[in-house]
Structures are given as C-alpha cells and as structure tokens.
A = this chain, B = another copy of it.
Amino acid sequence: MSTAVRTESDRVRLRLEVEGEIDALLARTSRQAQTYGTEFLRLWSHTAQHVRGGKLLRPILLLETYDALRPDGDRREALRLATAVEALHFAFLLHDDVIDQDLRRRGELNLVGELVESATAAGRGSAARHWAETGAILAGDLLLSSAHQIVARVRAPEATRERLLDLLEHTILETTAGEFSDVGLSDGMVAPDLDAVLVMTKQKTASYTFELPLRAAAILAGGSPELEHALSIAGAHLGLAYQLQDDLLSVFGDADEHGKDPYSDLREGKHTAVICFAQRTSAWPVIARHFGDPQLQPEDAVRVRRLLTDCGAEDHVRALIDDQLAALTELVADEERGGAIPARVRAMLLDLAARIDGRRS
C-alpha cells in the first residue's frame, strides 16, 4: 500500500503539471482581454498573477485521486477539471475579499489591495478603493465563468458531463450558503452557536476544498455513485478537520511558520469554532472586550489567547478535529472490509488525514 502514497517529489511534479494548465488558461484569457483596453488587460494580468501564486491544494487533490483511481487513464481531462476547481477557488476568494473588505490575504496584498495601490499611484486616491473592489467583483465573475466553461466542455460521455455539472451546481450552492451564514454570524443575522458554525464550515470550506475534487475525480474516472458518495463523506470529514485546524493555527499557531497575521481572526471578529465554544464559558466577558477590535494590541491578544486555552476552547476544538479524523479512519477501515473506495485511494485519504493532523502552517 505504501507505494500508493505520493512523495513530496510526486506532488512537485503534479504541481508543475497543474501550473502549466492554469498558465494556459490565463494566457488564453489574457489574449482575449487585449481587445478591451489597457485597464481591463491590467486587471486580468493582476488577477492572473494572484491565481498563479496559489497553493494548488484542490487541483493536486483532484489529480492525485484521479491517478489513484485510474493509474493508466488519460489525464488530460483531469488536468482541465483541476484547473476549473482552482478557478472556482479564486472566484470565491476574490468575492470573499470584497465581502470581508480585506486588502491582504496571508500577509500579502490581495487583488483589491494591489488595485488600490496602483490606482493610488495613478493619483486616484479617493476612488481607488471603489475601483479596486469593482475589479475584484468582475474578475471573480470571469473566473466563475471559466470554471463553468471548463466543466461544460469536458470531453467525456454525456452522463459523466451531466454528473460533473450537477456536482458543480451543488458545490456552488453549498459554498454560497456557507459564505452567507459566515457573514450572517459576523453581522449578527445568524445566532452564533457551535453547531451553526460547524455546519457553516462544512458548507463554506469542506464542500469545495475536499468534496469537490474527490467527487470530480471519481466521476471522471467512471466511478460508481457509491464511490462518489463515500468520497463525499470522507471529504466532509477531512474538510472540517482542515478548516478547524486552520482556525486553531490562526490563533495559537506560529505566525512565522503559517505567515498569517496571528491575531487577524480576533481583530476581524470571526466566529470560528474556537470563539463559539468560548462564548459559552465564564471567560467570555473578558474576551468579548477585545473580540472584533481592529486596534487589538499584542499584549491583549496574548491575554485573549491564554483565556481561550484556559476556558477549554482550544482543547475542545482539538477534540473536534480528532473526532473528524477518527471518523475518517473508521470510514476507511469500513471501506477496506468491503466498500467502493479502492486501496490506493484509501491510502491517499489516510495520508491526507495525517498531514492535516500534523499541520503547522
């Protein structure tokens, strides 16, 4: 079974393949954009630059899964689908950044931030933010369209294409619903309770980050509905564990390693699972004084962090992650005793779980 688990160098090779395909998509759109004037071309080249800088988690997962299911398959369409998944990811990120009014992502200027800078340099300070947010909305629309265009043109039997379109539709509906709940939690339109946060997390992140690539690979590989269903459940466990780990890291992690502002979630008042647990404890009144304060000072942040540990929130979320990873392990064991997921894919899922468990950045 060990040969089925990809090594780091396998993943580098997959990354290069995906990058080549994404570059081809971006270059094609750039050529089309040239007809529409300097500003539009510049918007697209900024967008392309950001898309190129991604971690490619989702497309690599899709390709790894496809390769494990069809070691001798024709990978061209899998590569195309992988690109679609990355385009969808960036469309969501761009609209999310507009919604969250962020100028940075993971410490770097995001597209809005970059457009603000270039418009300010052009002497358009007062309108720069509006111009930049407009650009991000429109670039998101273009990438959302690209994702659909790729899936719609997949060279596969009619029934396969329809299943992929169904999956895309479901994923977008679910992710959109999750995003709306997330904003609803921040804006006080949705009551902040731990269950609501977990459902939101599953919808907003797990659905398109793990379930989509796993299921898309299964469909393209000609897998049964049973395989697709089992991978969907596996994806939900992995996705939830991944995002909860992300929430923990952003408060308790080593900022130097993961590159995020260590207190941005606290400053922005993000209703993560960590926060929702703390809200039910006696530590909350003190934490609440600093939660959502854009001016949060490091010494207060350190204090809040300690309170989040002492009130049991950190341990509780770690336990939630363990639950999800344990459920994944159990699912894999069940599948081994007679299920739809083949051995290579089972090994890949366990490897993923181990990487999420050990994640430090």
Contact = CB atoms under 8 A, between A and B. Distances in A.
Contact of A40 (B137, B162, B177): B177
Given A137-B98, A179-B138, A181-B40, A153 B149 contact: no
Interface stretch (A6-14, A185-193, A299-307): A185-193
Interface string A113-124: 000000100101
A173 interface: yes
Interface string A137-164: 1101110110011011100000001100
B127 A189 contact: yes
B138 A180 contact: yes
Interface stretch (A31-39, A221-229, A248-256, A315-323): A31-39
Contact of A153 (B131, B165, B172, B183): B165
Nearest to A88: B145
Interface bracket on A: 35 or more
Contacts of A35: 177
Contacts of A141: 91, 95, 140-141, 144, 172, 176
Interface in A90-145: 91, 95, 98-99, 119, 122, 124, 127-128, 130-131, 133-135, 137-138, 140-142, 144-145
Nearest to A137: B95
Contacts of A279: none
A113 to B, nearest CB: 17
Nearest to A200: B37
Given A95-B137, A98-B137, A134-B187, 15 more contacts: A35-B177, A36-B177, A36-B203, A37-B177, A40-B176, A40-B180, A99-B133, A138-B179, A142-B176, A145-B168, A148-B149, A149-B168, A152-B161, A152-B165, A153-B162
Interface of A: 29, 32-33, 35-37, 39-40, 43, 91, 95, 98-99, 119, 122, 124, 127-128, 130-131, 133-135, 137-138, 140-142, 144-145, 148-149, 151-153, 161-162, 165, 168-169, 172-174, 176-177, 179-181, 183-184, 186-190, 203
A20 to B, nearest CB: 22
Contacts of A43: 180
B142 A189 contact: no
A199 to B, nearest CB: 8
B131 A183 contact: yes
A153 B161 CA distance: 9
A134 B187 CA distance: 11
A119 B33 CA distance: 39
Contacts of A188: 124, 127
A144 B203 CA distance: 20
A186 B126 CA distance: 12
Contact of A187 (B127, B145, B174): B127
A145 B167 CA distance: 12
Contacts of A98: 137
Q: Shortest 9 CB-CB distances between A and B: which pairs?
A: A152-B152, A36-B177, A148-B148, A127-B187, A131-B187, A40-B177, A134-B183, A138-B176, A99-B134
